[in-house]
Every structure is written in structure tokens, then in C-alpha cells.
């Protein structure tokens, strides 16, 4: 009987210790409890301005609700470069996406590509695949292919999302490229 109580006491202390350590680690990284999620739900975009595009234009986001996206200087190096398609290029199915990204954009050699219509509705989702060793901080060539049906809108967005297995929002990144449909 005493052995069972001792084991229960030890297990309880270990669990509380791990919980305390997790809270300390999360607070050191500045992660708030509401930011910790196991899945990412898309936010409603009604009434919001468009996010930063591949052309480097800033979208005037509401600075009170969230930080404005960083505008890269010409001297600053980007973490992803898309060769095709270019901004406002006319696209059709199947769409081939090529470029290069730093290895930090990949996890298990891929990252997500989404195609959205002009209203922000999801048309198709697929993955870009690294064409070389991805476990590096150097640039790695990638290729992705998305098959889709033409939407009702004439324009849309190609969204390349950095693969973030940590699920810590501050490590999220994306590149949004405006596109046109045939």
C-alpha cells in the first residue's frame, strides 16, 4: 500500500514538474496560451485588406490588431524565390511552380502550396517538393504541381506556406503571389 502511494506521489511530482517546465519554456519564447493550437484554422478575411504580395507591396493591415508585415529592403535576402509563375501571370491547370527556398522552409522535404480564387476561397492544395538536400540553411530548388478547375473569378492567389512543424506562430511564413486565370 505504501509503495503504491509513493509511486503515485512520484508520478504526480513528475507531471507537475513537466507542466511547470513547459510553461517556463513557452513564456521564455513569448508564446501565449491562446497561440498554442494543434491545428491552424483559416481566419475570416471579410473586410480585411490583402496580405503582402510577391511584388513586395505592403497591404495596409490594421496595426492595432496585428503587426504590419515586414517590407524587405533590396539588400535583404529573401528566404524563398519563385521562378514560375510570376506575379499576375495567367495560369492554367496543371500549374507548375518552381523556384528555390532556404532549407528552413521545408520539413520532410516539402512545404504547402495553396491556390485561392479572388474571394480567398480555396481551389486546390498540394506540396512543393525539394529537389536536393533540404536539411541546410542554403537555398534548395523546389518544384510543385497543382491541378485545379477554373474558378468563377478572373484573379486569385498562389500561397506558398513555410512548413512549420513546431506550430509556433512566430515561425510561420508565407509568400502570396497574385495570379490570373485563363
Boundaries of every domain in the chain:
1-31, 77-181
pLDDT tier for residue 78 given thresholds of 50, 70 and 90: confident
CB 52 within 8 A of CB 58: yes
Q: What is the pLDDT of residue 102?
A: 95
pTM of the model: 0.58
Which class is domain 77-181? mainly beta
DSSP annotation of 103:
G
**Interatomic CA distance for residues 44 and 75, integer angstroms:** 34
The answer to whether 62 and 43 are in contact (CB under 8 A) is: no
Amino acid at each position: 500500500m505504501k509503495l503504491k502511494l509513493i509511486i503515485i506521489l512520484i508520478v504526480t511530482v513528475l507531471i507537475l514538474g513537466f507542466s511547470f517546465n513547459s510553461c517556463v519554456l513557452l513564456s521564455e519564447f513569448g508564446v501565449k496560451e491562446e497561440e498554442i493550437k494543434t491545428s491552424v484554422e483559416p481566419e475570416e478575411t471579410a473586410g480585411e485588406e490583402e496580405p503582402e504580395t510577391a511584388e513586395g507591396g505592403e497591404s495596409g493591415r490594421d496595426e492595432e490588431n496585428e503587426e504590419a508585415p515586414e517590407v524587405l529592403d533590396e539588400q535583404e535576402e529573401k528566404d524563398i524565390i519563385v521562378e514560375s509563375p510570376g506575379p499576375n501571370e495567367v495560369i492554367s491547370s496543371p500549374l507548375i511552380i518552381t523556384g528555390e527556398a532556404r532549407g528552413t522552409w521545408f520539413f520532410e522535404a516539402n512545404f504547402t502550396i495553396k491556390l485561392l480564387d479572388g474571394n480567398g476561397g480555396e481551389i486546390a492544395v498540394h506540396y512543393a517538393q525539394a529537389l536536393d538536400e533540404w536539411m541546410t540553411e542554403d537555398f534548395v530548388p523546389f518544384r510543385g504541381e497543382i491541378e485545379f478547375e477554373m474558378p468563377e473569378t478572373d484573379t486569385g492567389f498562389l500561397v506558398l506556406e513555410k512548413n512549420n512543424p513546431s506550430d509556433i506562430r512566430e515561425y510561420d511564413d508565407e509568400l502570396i503571389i497574385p495570379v490570373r486565370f485563363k
